Amino acid sequence: MQIRKSATAWWGPPKKFEPLQKERRISWLELFFDLVYVIAISHITHHLAVHISFDSFLEYCCLFTLIYWGWLNGSIYHDLHGNEGLRTRLITLWQMMIIAAIVIALEINPDPHHHYIIIVFMIMQLFITYLWWSVGFYDKEHRRYSWHYILLYLISFALMGLSLFLPDNSLQFIIPFIIICNYSPPFISYFFLNPLSREFNLSSSMFERLGLLTIILFGELVLGVVNGVIGIHTFDFSLWLNFALAMTIAFALWWIFFTVIAAREAKDNFLRASLLELIYLPTIIALGFLAAIFSSFFGEASTVDLQPLFGYGIAAFLISISLLIGLLKYPIQFDDLIAKLRLSILITGVVFIIFSLLNLPLSQTWYLISVIAILTMEILYLNFMYYRRVSQDGINLQEEI
């Protein structure tokens, strides 16, 4: 009996689900887990940069959405049920191997029917399904919450398998259903939760993980600038000037995002937490898209006019931030101010849409300067409104933070 107890502790079954999560620090295992996603995201972003087209963008969005789904489920599982046991570490290793295999499968050539990549995604789908099934195996009370996940994830798995036997063009019809099945379980299960479980909040550690994932995409944005400059072999003053302007844009986008998003917590309620996780997706896709555009932005000749596309990417990023703000907690002194700041970011996003539609004949340098000017006005407005409120109400910044 003692040996059995020791083996159970060593193996480490999933931690029991608790609506009220304890505060904890992000583990080194989670950071290591994120590294393989850096590789996957970087790989698909590079592929988009080399093949900028509408079809490539749709392919990028689909791949990114499925990869993010894997990261999100793996991260939430670790946050809710992970522990220091061997099982948690092996589960992390196996998922890292699957994501690395996805990157390899993307490079297998020829694969005209995408069979290799579909099979690897099927393995990931089945593995994530197993994770949620295993929680119910160890904790019978959890089964009524997880069966929606298991059922819909298995439907997605079946659709992936079906696509192996259908014509290639069938993927464009099947993938949307796969994505819907993968992302809908949290919203369906919400109506089956008891009142206490409905008040489940996104933990501070999980919100921090989302922030770290965003930092990864900002790193891709900087890498896109660097790769774009390296691709030009004439290093004259104008190129260095454009490099400085592009880096300034990356920093300005970071400034806006983390000014209103960092050091916050998600609003209470399981449904809001699920919406927050979902809205993060277009936010980081927009950053990856901007990184891909920057990689080809500095060339003299291009088959695609990149300036409007770049503007649309910034617009999507800002509008997503505006949506995220509505799902975060802010000090009560800023309640009325937050609505104004949220509206200003939304308006700035609309300005970039109009700017892109106009498609003014600007040089690269003047276009980058124009983008910086618009972003700078938004930053100045955000800081002016914030510090004016601090001054008027005598708010202690250290206490507010």
Percentage above 70 pLDDT, the chain? 87
Residues 211, 175 share a domain:
no
CA distance 3 to 8: 9
Range of the domain at 278: 204-395
Domain shared by 86 and 216, yes or no: no
Any idea which residue has 């400059």 for tokens?
Answer: 229
Answer yes or no: do 218 and 172 share one domain. Answer: no
Cβ–Cβ under 8 Å, residues 207 and 23:
no
Q: Are residues 226 and 159 in the same domain?
A: no
Q: How confident is the model at residue 198 (pLDDT cuts 50, 70, 90)?
A: low
DSSP assignment string, 202-258: --HHHHHHHHHHHHHHHHHHHHHHHHHHHT-----HHHHHHHHHHHHHHHHHHHHHH
Give pLDDT tens digits for 225-284. Answer: 999 999 887 888 999 999 999 999 999 999 999 988 877 888 888 888 889 999 999 999
State whether residue 266 is helix, strand or coil: strand
Residues 218 and 352 placed together within one structural domain of the fold? yes
How large is the average pLDDT for residues 212-229?
A: 94
pLDDT of 112 reads 74
Beta carbons of 185 and 152 less than 8 angstroms apart: yes
Does residue 211 sit in the same domain as residue 283?
yes
Q: What is the mean pLDDT of residues 72-98?
A: 87
- Is residue 13 in some structural domain? no
| One domain for residues 149 and 208 | no
Please tell me whether residues 387 and 244 are part of one structural domain: yes
pLDDT of residue 199: 62
Is residue 168 situated within a structural domain? yes
Residues 355 and 246 in one domain: yes
Last residue of a domain, one of 158, 192, 226: 192
| Whether residue 142 sits in one domain with residue 253 | no
pTM value > 0.85 = yes
Tokens of 47: 């592929």
- Of residues 243 and 78, the one with the higher pLDDT is 243
Phi-psi map region of 194: left, alpha, beta (phi>0 left; psi -120 to 50 alpha): beta
Total domains in the fold of the chain = 2
Pair 327, 298 in one domain: yes
Quick one: pLDDT at residue 51?
87
Residues 212 and 338 in one domain: yes
Q: What is the pLDDT of residues 108-152, one digit of tens each?
A: 877 777 889 999 999 999 999 999 888 877 766 666 677 888 999
